[in-house]
Amino acid sequence: MNNTTININSLVRENILKLQPYISFRDHNEFNTPTFLDANESPFGECNRYPDSTQKILKNKLADLKNVSPKQIAVGNGSDELIDLIIKIFCEPKKDSILMMNPSFAMYGFYATINENKVLQINLDENFEIVKDDFLKITQENSPKVFFLCSPNNPTGNSTEDIEFYLQNFNGIVVVDEAYIEFSGKKSSLELLDQYPNLIVLQTFSKAWGIAGARVGMAYASEEIIKLINTVKAPYNVNVLSQELILNSLNENKLEENVNKILAERAWLQDQLKTIDCIEKVFPTDANFFLIKMKNVSNVYEQMLKQEILTSRRDPAISGCIRINIGNRQENEKLVNLLQNVIL
């Protein structure tokens, strides 16, 4: 299957192809000293104007950082909005399906269900990896429109190898969700954008950048796909305060410093977890969290909760497991001390 020449329009819902985007006149034109009397805003207040609906300054900054064109970037109210939009663009309600890994990020299935699309799941093996033969079989039998491939995967923490195989053997849109890519040391799939028109790469400011509260995610893709996303998205989907916060963070660029701190804590915590009796296994991770198999997981989880240590219980979907993300040293020491003294 040669997906380097795939016709994207053939995958798009017919009504979306006919849809005319909402266009803010002011955001699509240049002015020197404008008087804004066009959008029924108040002339008073510190945040009285609508944000730039095209996010021009932010996209230009990201384009320089990621070595792509600004026209290859869509900015969303978190990656969640972008996931929802991708499904709306390519999947006909009550007709089309998406494919996702199991276990993986639950919101892929959540938004597909809201949009009345079937959710197909490919079960991962004992090492939380995709079995390629299973992938080929499920895609050939069901022809899903969109494949959500989370790498590193949430909640398992491992990265998917040979992503090009899935791009070459999927007759639809492949969404590679790289929310945790900065922690992995792996190459980003952004390098593959020019080769595969059916590729969308999702990234976020919520994890390595430490700006989850701003709710800003990015989709990188061909200009053709980005134009579709910008057509369907709400006109002012990323607010002024969030755009300013992200721009300030890009100017300061403390990403490497933040990531190095978390990786150092990850290494320290991993060493500590090896010595704790209630832990059966700490799975390898490329992310800022560990998937941990516990003895008597219910008891351990409840004891953590009593001490107000909040973790993500994955049992029974992943038997005996809890997902625990990396905190600062004080938080990590509190966790270790509790686990060392847990009553089984």
User: For 234-238, which contacts have Cβ atoms below 8 Å and span 24 or more sequence positions?
Assistant: 234/77, 235/22, 235/24, 235/53, 236/24, 236/50, 236/51, 236/53, 237/53, 237/75, 237/76, 237/77, 237/81, 238/51, 238/55, 238/58, 238/75, 238/76, 238/77
Per the prediction, the chain carries an average pLDDT of 96
The Cα-based distances of 79 to 84, 105, 129, 194, 238 in angstroms read: 9, 12, 23, 22, 12
Position 28 confidence tier, pLDDT thresholds 50, 70, 90 = confident
Same domain, yes or no: 325 and 188: no
Phi, psi (deg, nearest 5) at residue 100? -140, 160
Q: Across-strand partners of 177? A: 150, 202
- Does 319 have pLDDT greater than 70? yes
Same domain, yes or no: 140 and 265: no
pLDDT digits (tens, 9 = 90+) for 108-130: 999 999 999 999 999 999 999 99
Of 252, 283, 313, which residue is a domain's last?
A: 252
Q: How many domains does the chain have?
A: 2
Same domain, yes or no: 224 and 291: no
> Three-state SS for 271?
helix
Same domain, yes or no: 237 and 279: no
- At residue 343, the pLDDT reads 82
Same domain, yes or no: 232 and 262: no
- Does 84 have pLDDT greater than 90? yes
Q: Is residue 291 part of a domain?
A: yes
Same domain, yes or no: 21 and 154: yes
Q: Is residue 29 part of a domain?
A: yes
Once rounded to an integer, what is the mean pLDDT over residues 60-75? 98
CATH code where residue 100 lies:
3.40.640.10
DSSP-assigned letter for residue 190: G
Q: Is residue 2 part of a domain?
A: no
Q: Quote the domain boundaries for residue 268.
A: 255-340
Selection from 5, 34, 2, 1 nearest residue 224 by Cα? 5
Position 3 confidence tier, pLDDT thresholds 50, 70, 90 = low
Same domain, yes or no: 237 and 269: no
- Does 19 have pLDDT greater than 70? yes
Position 163 confidence tier, pLDDT thresholds 50, 70, 90 = very high
Same domain, yes or no: 165 and 261: no
Of 199, 231, 252, which residue is a domain's last?
A: 252
- At residue 5, the pLDDT reads 76
pTM for the model stands at 0.96
pLDDT digits (tens, 9 = 90+) for 194-252: 999 999 999 999 999 999 999 999 999 999 999 999 999 999 999 999 999 999 999 99
> Three-state SS for 38?
coil
